[in-house]
Amino acid sequence: MRRVVLPEIGTFEAWRDEARALLGAGVPPEEVLWNRGAAEADLFAEALPPVRGGAVTVPKGFVDLARLVVWHRDPERFARLYALLWALGHDRRLLEDRGDPRVDRLRRMAKEVSRDRHKMTAFVRFREIGDPAATRRRFAAWFEPSHYILELAAPFFAKRFGDMDWSIFTPDLTAHFDGFEIRFAPAEARPDLPDDAAEELWRTYFRNIFNPARLKVGAMQAEMPKKYWRNLPEAPLIPELIAEAQSRAQAMAEAAPSLPPIRAERITERLRAPEAPVPVGDREALLTGLAGCRRCPLWQNATQPVAGEGPLDAALMIVGEQPGDQEDLAGRPFVG
């Protein structure tokens, strides 16, 4: 029995090289035990000299699959990948068989890793830890992913926040970026990050864009699972906003006009008339068209459309995510 211990940093490249050598040397899956990081001695495995196999080729789809699966937390992920790699040597089309349990299991693992990476890019919250007056500001964040995805997700943050130095700490690994390269280091204890004055502004914004009439708790928790709440500054507001949603929505309904507004007659006339393109620069025609729009169901729970304001040739445009309850009642943006 051969034991392979993979490093915690550069795991994919290490697994790829080991799997390539084992496959080229004809070592079957049942003769290999895989571990990541410091592994305890195994009575049935021994660290044999590295094998030197010949060149092997695999479908590109398998490489893409392995680049995700190696970061899964399942301790059998390396063995499962190598078993499929071995099987592909006998059936090159096996990867296309979605009904094969080996392929199905690995694809589901890859999907879980990909989803976890997406959640990390959405829910990491940086706090400033350096001198705000410095040429390059420095930030840090703590995040608890479901899988070992920091090495996979770090390039996104380097591209997105390339103008600042940052560190991301997780229970498994740490990443540091200095503007030129990403450096990975062993995991550290959760740092004591300072309070961020901008978080209060963010909570104010979050509270004001929360529309109780469109609340769907199940959908919200599917996109923002509770496991991430303890590291989000807006999370303490969520239970209160959910509890108040029904009464706030009822208040919005009661505040709505009891009689059809004057514009209803214009909307009715427009619906009877054939559609015509809105002339460029004709604001009145734009507002009329917006008021009568029924191309999606968003109008059903709204009191009225909320159009933009300002000159049509403005050099700067501010786009809001959605009208809040005060904007919906007033018909004007950014008044909540």
pLDDT by residue for the chain (336 residues), tens digit each? 889 999 999 999 999 999 988 988 889 999 999 998 764 445 555 555 555 555 667 788 899 999 999 999 999 999 999 999 999 988 888 988 888 999 999 999 999 999 999 999 999 999 998 777 777 889 999 999 999 999 999 999 999 998 899 999 999 999 999 989 999 999 999 999 888 878 888 888 988 888 888 888 888 877 888 888 788 888 888 888 889 888 888 888 888 777 666 777 777 777 776 655 656 667 788 888 888 888 888 888 888 888 888 887 889 998 888 888 888 888 899 988
Would you give the distance in Å from CA 166 to the centre of its chain?
Answer: 19
Which strand ranges, in their side-by-side order, compose the sheet holding 138-142? 127-128, 138-142, 165-169, 173-177, 182-186
H or E element in which residue 224 lies:
none
* Pairwise CA distance, residues 35 & 22, whole Å: 15
Specify whether the CB–CB gap between 114 and 68 falls below 8 A.
yes
H or E element in which residue 222 lies:
helix 217-223
H or E element in which residue 89 lies:
none
Q: Which residue do the tokens 């393109």 mark?
A: 277
